[in-house]
Amino acid sequence: MMSFRKILCLFAVSLLFIPFANAKSEIVEYINDVSSEITNWNDINFTPSIKTDDGYVYFVKKKLIYVDNSGKEKWTYSISKDGNTAADILLDGDYIVFTKGGRNGETGRIKLSDGSLASSVPVAGMKIAKLDSYYIVASGNGLITSINSSDGSIVKELETDYEIVNMVSDQTYIYVMSSYGEIVKYDKNLKEVSNLETDFNEVYDTDYLNTNSTKGLFTDSLNYYISNFNVYKIDSKGNSSIKLNGDYECEDGTCTEYHSGTILKDYIVIGGVDYKKSIETSAEEIDINYNNYVPFVEIYDKNFNLLQRIDLSKEINDWAVVKDVSLTENGEGFLVKWIDMDNSKLHVTEYRMKYNVETKTDGNGTVKVSINRAISGTVVTFTVVPNEGYVLSVVKVTDANGNFVYFKDYTFTMPTADVIVEATFVKKENKIDNPETGAYIGIVTAAFLVGGGLLLLNNKKRKNTKKYEKVM
């Protein structure tokens, strides 16, 4: 009969033949892409896209469209009746909440299930956010309105003394960029919390806040702003500096424009486009040609060191632009809304954050994992091999917060956090003669996480007995 020690050794050797992927330094991974046909750039605006459990919602041809994960249309809702007005959307449970400006300004809720209008109020806006039980709607003329999300009643209207350029939310506060270059912070009751006076009006033309700006403001512990195709960082004192310089007015050669951005955990995500610009001069006229567009997404750390670049397409000759980069609802990835006019398509492309899988030992053996970076939900396999003269003592899998990650048969499912697979080993005991069987046995200990606990399997010198201990 084969001993427990021999079985363990054969098992360890067999695991050596499992194929392993090469480590990658990518921050995000491509998940999916859906698209809709368009005829010209007026068919779209800067409205963000939304990821639901089974599809995507986005604005195209003056309508909201809901498609499943394969791109098949589920429903459409006409949201604009008076031209290509400003509009914004958000996901709130079973509803898509929208606001739009123009003569027929409106804020309302659409049922996600069938695309029917559930309720609406005549409140015009260009940006919308949800704080607690209130929808906060901002319009370009400086009016900020809070609406009760339960019954649609208007709770408060705040008339500011400035035009509103942009508004974003961190789920606790809203941040408004004024036409004076201020970043004003409000709570859910529209009470001003702080007012950061930036140097935009002193250093840059005021038009920079309103011209050629798509995403505009996005924020975390510091504020960032995209305007005139440049990316600015604004410090806590309101001083701004250009971190990425978009050369919109470049001469012959390759030009770069930055269009939109967001914050993904510890990373800054910027969308834009490279293109070729050529100038031909004759006695009669000057011809400026634009072609070879390459829409892209770039991911930076907080010091603006480039970590990953994703080209969304090969060169596009007609026209291309990144309209919006928005976080997914769970904050684990982002959506890019971009245009390919060569093929008359509006794309919504999803990317998801990858997390590290690290290994740790006491030096008396090795741990190998099937993948070093993975998105949540990925199945990860690992092997543990002791050095000669050692056997496995304990193996555990924990996330970055120290929480146990359940695994079975040396396999676990990647959570939404970095993971550490740690193993410790002990020396083999001198072989001794089992007086009852004549077999040689030694200390063999393995550990498994079961239901959030640590399960130790001890096979010590005993008379054909094994002891299982569960340590919580």
What does 79-114 look like in DSSP terms, one character per residue?
--SSSS--EEEEEETTEEEEEE-STT-EEEEEETTT
* Residue 158: strand pairing partners: 144
The residues, any chain, with a CB within 8 Å of residue 446's CB and separated by 6 or more, are: 8, 392, 394, 395, 456, 457
Asked whether 356 and 419 are in contact (CB, 8 A), the reply is yes
Query: Could you report the per-residue pLDDT of 10-24, keeping only the tens digit for each?
Result: 334 333 323 233 334
Report d(CA 73, CA 374) in Å as an integer.
Answer: 30
Residue 297 has pLDDT above 70, yes or no: yes
Residue 247 has pLDDT above 60, yes or no: yes
pTM score = 0.81
pLDDT category, 323, cuts 50, 70, 90?
A: confident
Nearest to 190 by CA among 160, 153, 222: 160
pLDDT category, 467, cuts 50, 70, 90?
A: very low
| 79-83-87 Cα angle (round to 5) | 45
Nearest to 134 by CA among 160, 167, 97, 101: 97
* Residue 411: strand pairing partners: 381, 408
The pLDDT score that the predictor gives to residue 447 is 43
Q: What's the whole-number average pLDDT of the chain? A: 81
Residue 457 has pLDDT above 50, yes or no: no
Query: Could you report the per-residue pLDDT of 88-145, keeping only the tens digit for each?
Result: 999 999 999 999 887 788 999 999 999 999 999 999 998 999 999 999 999 989 999 9
Report d(CA 286, CA 289) in Å as an integer.
Answer: 10
The pLDDT score that the predictor gives to residue 218 is 77
